[in-house]
């Protein structure tokens, strides 16, 4: 490659890792998917990517969007047994620059620039320009971020809201909470709004009905629900959508997200029509005295396949511009 600087971005989840190279026009090329469990470390994946694309790592400015807290030098992934020191990774790979951001910080950077072809609206409400935007995403875990407008630019605000206390709002959820309290000392939203969450909702419903739970994974439960092959699976997926609606509605209240609430992650885009026909939006709006407040806020499912990579690219470009000033 002939560029003086090579911009490399990665979106690192608990299951998949995607690495790509950012061209001068902002496009992303050589996007490569890796299965995390098939590699011993993040460094091994990046070394493999640099080698396969003949990249001189000393010329690389890298931005890594990763599914865990990133405020310390030592990074420990929440849903993957990987850990690394940011300073040591930069030194070992001989990188020119290294930025590590939360994966939902990256998605937040991408959301304001999504086109109508990269998202699907769920229910009513509208999005107001340059107003706060909230993002949550069930996947391996439950990611959360916000993005606000200030100083004539979008500013991403990360967080770990997926680990907030699960708040049951009806009798079924109370029973699900009780079931999970027998497994965990504390129940967070991630334990019901994730792949594992779908499985645990299903298990709780089986327990409530006095039947043995099958060893179904989230994909099995979703498939049986969508094909109407299992009543409890169908109830589990409906419950997942309802709880997701409540959580998204809480985010709308917390941030006054009149720019919209966006659902990211690897789960929701697989059954958008089901979500549209579920009680997701009803639960989003069901906030008693603040129902009208939430009714005015739009909700979307992100259908863009690589929002984390796009956001990491936007972040890296901004940082490069700042360094050039």
- State pLDDT tens for residues 68-99: 889 899 999 877 889 999 999 999 999 999 99
Contact between 8 and 31 under an 8 Å Cβ cutoff? The reply is no
pLDDT band per the 50, 70, 90 thresholds, residue 67: confident
Q: What is the DSSP letter of 297?
A: B
- What backbone torsions phi and psi does residue 173 show, to the nearest 5 degrees? -65, -35
Instruction: Look at residue 273 and tell me whether its pLDDT is greater than 90.
Output: yes
Residues across the chain: 325
**Which pLDDT does position 1 carry in this prediction?**
41
Q: What 8-state DSSP symbol labels residue 188?
A: B
Read off the pLDDT of residues 174-186 as tens digits, 9 standing for 90 and up: 999 999 999 999 9
Sign of the Cα torsion 30, 311, 270, 162 reads: positive
Residue 230's SS3 state is: coil
Structure tokens at 302: 């992100």
Whole-angstrom Cα distance, residue 189 to residue 255?
18
Q: Which pLDDT does position 325 carry in this prediction?
A: 64
**Among 57, 108, 131, 95, CA closest to 298:** 131
Mean of the per-residue pLDDT values of the chain: 94
Write phi, then psi, for 284 (nearest 5 degrees). Answer: -60, -40
Is the pLDDT at 4 greater than 90, yes or no? no
How are strands ordered across the β-sheet holding 97-102?
Answer: 28-35, 16-22, 6-12, 60-66, 97-102
| pTM summary value | 0.84
Residue 278: Cβ-neighbour burial (10 angstroms; 0-12, 13-18, 19+): buried
DSSP codes joined into one string, 244-292 = HHHHHHHHHHHHT-TT-EEE-SSSGGGGHHHHHTTTHHHHHH--GGGHH
| Residue 322: per-residue pLDDT | 78
Which DSSP symbol is given to 107?
A: H
More confidently predicted of 41 and 153: 41
Instruction: Give the confidence band of 249 by pLDDT, cuts at 50, 70, 90.
Output: very high
CB-CB contact of 242 with 286 (8 Å): no
Taking the C-alpha atoms of residue 252 and residue 247, their distance in angstroms, rounded to an integer, is 9
Which of residues 107 and 51 earns the better pLDDT score?
Answer: 51
Domains along the sequence of the chain with CATH: 6-103+306-324 (3.30.420.40), 115-303 (3.40.367.20)
Q: Give kind and range of the element (H or E) at residue 116.
A: none
Q: Count the neighbouring beta carbons within 10 Å of the beta carbon of residue 116.
A: 8
Contacts of residue 322, Cβ cutoff 8 Å, sequence gap at least 6: none
| Average pLDDT rounded to a whole number, residues 93-120 | 92
**Distance separating alpha carbons of residues 176 and 319, to the nearest angstrom:** 44
Tokens standing for residue 252: 């709308």
């Amino acid at each position: 490659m002939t560029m003086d600087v090579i911009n490399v971005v990665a979106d690192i989840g608990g299951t998949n890792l995607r690495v790509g190279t950012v061209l001068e026009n902002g496009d992303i090329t050589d996007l490569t998917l890796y299965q995390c469990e098939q590699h011993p470390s993040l460094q091994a994946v990046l070394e493999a990517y640099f080698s396969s694309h003949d990249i001189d790592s000393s010329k690389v400015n890298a931005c890594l969007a990763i599914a865990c807290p990133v405020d310390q030098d030592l990074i420990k992934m929440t849903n993957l047994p990987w850990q690394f020191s940011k300073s040591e990774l930069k030194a070992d790979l001989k990188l020119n620059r290294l930025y590590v951001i939360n994966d939902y910080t990256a998605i937040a950077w991408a959301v304001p620039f999504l086109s109508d072809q990269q998202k699907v609206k769920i229910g009513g409400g509208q999005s107001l320009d340059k107003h706060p935007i909230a993002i949550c995403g069930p996947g391996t875990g439950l990611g959360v971020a916000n993005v606000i407008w200030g100083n004539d630019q979008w500013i991403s605000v990360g967080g770990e809201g997926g680990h907030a206390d699960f708040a049951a709002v009806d009798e079924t959820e109370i029973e699900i909470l009780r079931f999970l309290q027998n497994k965990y000392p504390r129940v967070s939203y991630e334990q019901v709004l994730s792949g594992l969450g779908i499985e645990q909702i299903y298990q709780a419903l089986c327990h409530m009905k006095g039947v043995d739970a099958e060893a179904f994974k989230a994909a099995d439960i979703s498939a049986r629900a969508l094909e109407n092959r299992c009543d409890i699976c169908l109830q589990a997926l409906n419950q997942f959508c309802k709880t997701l609606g409540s959580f998204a509605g809480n985010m709308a209240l917390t941030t006054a997200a009149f720019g919209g609430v966006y659902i990211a992650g690897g789960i929701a885009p697989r059954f958008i029509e089901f979500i549209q026909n579920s009680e997701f939006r009803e639960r989003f709006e069901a906030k008693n005295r603040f129902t009208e407040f939430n009714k005015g806020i739009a909700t979307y499912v992100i259908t863009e396949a690589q929002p984390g990579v796009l956001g990491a690219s936007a972040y890296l470009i901004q940082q490069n511009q700042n360094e050039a000033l």
